[in-house]
Structure 1
Amino acid sequence: MSLADMILTPQGLRYRGRLYPCSIGRTGVTRTKREGDKATPAGILHVTGLWYRPDRLAPPAPWARPIGPGDLWCDAPGHPAYNHHARAPLAASHERLRRADPLYDVILTTDWNWPDAVPGWGSAIFLHQWRRPRFGTEGCIAFARHDLIRIAAHAVLGTRIVIPEGLADQP
């Protein structure tokens, strides 16, 4: 492991010599991630994209993609676009990336169950803004806005996110 890796610890996410408080899935870390289990998957993930709301903030990095009104993420296990970016209209179950709240103003996408998604193994494992400190997510890793923007400014495609299996044994 190196300083360039993001490493989840019981105290937060360690990245580039700093420790960032974060929230994880409501049910903790799991080795057996499934759609809707509200758990963060153990393993080594990689950053695959950076999205931001151009109407709310400047791009956090030069490679960031703007989130538009029609940007979605498909979470329907039986759909061909499962766990992929999609565009409206989409009849299948999905998350809107352009939300009324600020949670997805900045999103780092990961390669959890991507690009060849296995139906039911979980979708939309992102790094995004938290609702409040230590408030559990649906499986994502969430941060204070200023910390997330700092993380996004330094991350690059392929940055490793290490979620130790040992955390799955933590209460």
Structure 2
Amino acid sequence: FRGDHFAGGRRTRLPMAPIGPDLGWCEVPDDRNYNRPVKIPYGASHERMKRDDRLYDVCLVLDWNIAPRLRGRGSAIFFHLARPGFTPTQGCVAVTARTMARLLPLLSDRTVVKVVR
């Protein structure tokens, strides 16, 4: 979470870590750190987690392709803040900051998020 933008990130039972300028997420299936957090600068293609658009002021990693990580099955699905107007994500789940602040105290590591079409 970005404590400088979203103080509500501290009000949860989930383990949370601050998002700093050197946090990235590896997107390259052939890299040994595929679908894991990495420290920037990083040699392989990665997504920067500290964003100017504030979508990742709170960003939870759902358990899609985390354990075990299978190459080519897709990178992480994040649960993060929505863009204005709820424009589409890149395969993630997004809610308003207000909704996120209401949900965080209710979530735990046993919470099941079911994504349906």
TM-score interval, smaller chain: 0.7 to 0.9
Per-residue deviation at 1:54? 1.5
What code does the residue aligned with 2:35 have?
Answer: N
What code does the residue aligned with 2:12 have?
Answer: A
User: What CA distance in whole angstroms lies between the structure 2 residues aligned with 1:130 and 1:72?
Assistant: 19
What code does the residue aligned with 1:84 have?
Answer: R
Per-residue deviation at 1:53? 0.3
Q: 1:96 aligns with which of 48, 65, 69?
A: 48
Per-residue deviation at 1:135? 1.2
Per-residue deviation at 1:73? 0.8
Matched, 1:127 2:76: no
Matched, 1:105 2:57: yes
The equivalent residue for 1:78 is 30
Q: 1:61 aligns with which of 12, 21, 42?
A: 12
Gaps of 5+ in 1: 1-51
User: What CA distance in whole angstroms lies between the structure 2 residues aligned with 1:85 and 1:158?
Assistant: 22
Per-residue deviation at 1:98? 0.7
Alignment of 1:7-46 (within 5 A): none
What code does the residue aligned with 1:117 have?
Answer: R
User: What CA distance in whole angstroms lies between the structure 1 residues aligned with 2:55 and 2:11?
Assistant: 15
Higher alpha-carbon deviation: 102-111 or 124-133 = 124-133
User: What CA distance in whole angstroms lies between the structure 2 residues aligned with 1:83 and 1:158?
Assistant: 21
SS of corresponding position for 1:86:
strand
Structure having greater relative contact order (Cα 8 Å, sep ≥ 6):
1
Per-residue deviation at 1:72? 0.9
TM-score by length of 2: 0.88
Deviations 1:107-163 (A, max 9, x none): 111110013211121112011011123411110011111101222222111311112
The equivalent residue for 2:106 is 154
User: Computing the radius of gyration over CA atoms, which structure comes out larger, 1 or 2?
Assistant: 1
C-alpha contact 2:22 2:41 (8 A) present in aligned 1:
yes
User: RMSD over aligned Cα, in angstroms?
Assistant: 1.5
What code does the residue aligned with 1:143 have?
Answer: V
C-alpha contact 1:107 1:127 (8 A) present in aligned 2:
yes
- Number of aligned residue pairs: 114
SS of corresponding position for 1:72:
strand
Q: Which has the higher helix share?
A: 2
What code does the residue aligned with 2:32 have?
Answer: P
User: What CA distance in whole angstroms lies between the structure 2 residues aligned with 1:91 and 1:118?
Assistant: 21
